[in-house]
Amino acid sequence: MRAKFPLLFLTLILSLQACDTQTSTGMPASQIATSAPVGAIMTPVPASTGTPVPPASAPPNPPPLPVFPSPVLGRIDFQDENNGWGIAVNENGRVLRTVDGGRTWLNATPAGIDLLGLSANLTVLDASTAWVLIPGTDFFSGMLYRTSDGGVTWNSNPVPFGGGFLQLLDSGTGRALADRGARAGSQAVELFQSSDGGVTWVSVFHNDSSQAGASDSLPLDGVKNGMSFLNANTGWVTGSIPEDGDVYLYVTRDGGVSWSQQNIPLPSDYAAYQFTPLAPVFFGNDGFLPLMIHRADSTDFTCYDTHDGGLSWNGDPTDANTVIKPGFPAFADALHGWSWDGGTKLYSTTDSAKTWQENPASLDLSGSLSQMEFVPAPAGHFTGWALTRVDEAGHSQLFRTTDGVTWTQLVP
């Protein structure tokens, strides 16, 4: 499993996606997911443990999809050096596929979608399998589209959530952490499970005290900024809270029914700082927990690591080798990662974030970088992409690198 961090990383606290579309597929009412009592657990389904993405083979034949010229990309998701997905925001929004590393984009938009933009949630499993969540106007429901043939055909069904964090661990096992209302310094959420690839969803947890069956094991306090499940039972929610010495990291071992705060060892003199962790990313039992350290006069970035599937996390933010300035992090495997704020210096690590090196970048995207990704490539190499945010003129740019230093512009 490669790292998938939210867009606009430097803002740290994500605002969950606004609802601006409503679609209907005329699905029978019997197929609409209904909520089970909080505490119900679906039968666990074996799930992927997040092994590294294999190197790409020869570029496949393009699927029978039309070319989408001049895309204005708002989001990208690459599985290998050739295969990727994207969301375009022009022409009322489109779901896109590429099989040539981002040089050409194909229109894979599900039939019947009239409006799709950055409010859509794109979740990708591999080159063939992806889900697109379109929020409804009420923000508490949505329409979920799924393809297993690379976007040629899609199935759809209504779901009882419209935004938040969506993760499909395999073709069957899904978890969704839905926003149920934010207040100053707090946020209500509801956790849903699926065992049939997103067709039906069961509510197993919520912390809205105004609703029956609420639990406070995942507190109402704190703005939630990420969710990551290692398997069907074990997962984490991260967030931020304005309290010194507190790392907002909660873990579940029962699929999301109950939660507990997980301790992160910090140096004693760090009790006066505030912290923002991002959702962990795993490669098998090896994983990273990116952590922002908010000091009185600066903000730094470091990573804690685990080699036991998240049972324990280890790190030393006093070691200058492990600490860099904030950027957009991207990990390709259990050893290799990058972090870049879009400026002229791009950091890289080859030893699981124990040390970072500064690399000069061939372009400066300061203030405009919105997303960065790296994947393994043949012969021990890596391929990366950098996407800029949509500017006031309605354009975005996509760049590609094979060495982390020299970048080639692909779009527009």
CA-wise closest residue to 52 among 399, 380, 412, 389: 380
Q: Does a structural domain hold residue 173?
A: yes
CB 241 within 8 A of CB 272: no
- CATH for 257: 2.130.10.120
Q: Does a structural domain hold residue 4?
A: no
pLDDT in 10s for each residue of the chain, 412 residues: 455 554 433 344 333 333 333 333 333 333 333 333 333 333 333 333 333 444 444 445 778 999 999 999 999 999 999 999 999 999 999 999 999 999 999 999 999 888 887 789 999 999 999 999 999 988 789 999 999 999 999 999 999 999 899 999 999 999 999 999 888 889 999 999 999 999 999 999 999 988 999 999 999 999 999 999 999 999 999 999 999 999 999 999 999 999 999 999 999 999 999 999 999 999 999 999 999 999 999 999 999 999 999 999 999 999 999 999 999 999 999 999 999 999 988 999 999 999 999 999 999 999 999 999 999 999 999 999 999 999 999 999 999 999 989 999 999 8
| 186-194/202-206 β-pairing | antiparallel
Q: Does a structural domain hold residue 2?
A: no
Q: Percent helix, strand, coil in the chain (nearest 5)? A: 5, 40, 60
CB 233 within 8 A of CB 255: yes
- Residue for token pair 């839905």: 178
What dihedral angle (degrees, nearest 10) is formed by the CA atoms of 185, 186, 187, 188?
-170
CA distance 110 to 113: 6
CB 121 within 8 A of CB 96: no
- Across the strands, what pairs with 375? 383
pTM attached to this predicted model: 0.85
Helices and strands (H, E) in the chain, number of each type:
0, 28
DSSP state of 10: G
Which structural domain, as residue segments, surrounds residue 93? Answer: 9-411
CB 27 within 8 A of CB 158: yes
pLDDT at 63: 84
pLDDT at 67: 97
* 337-340, strands of its sheet edge to edge: 328-331, 337-340, 345-349, 357-360
pLDDT at 5: 57
Q: What domain count does the chain have?
A: 1
* E-strand stretches of 139-220: 142-147, 155-159, 164-168, 174-183, 186-194, 202-206
Q: Does a structural domain hold residue 3?
A: no
CA distance 14 to 37: 29
Q: Does a structural domain hold residue 215?
A: yes
Tokens representing 10 are 């430097």
CA-wise closest residue to 228 among 42, 1, 405, 410: 1
| 142-147/155-159 β-pairing | antiparallel
Q: Does a structural domain hold residue 191?
A: yes
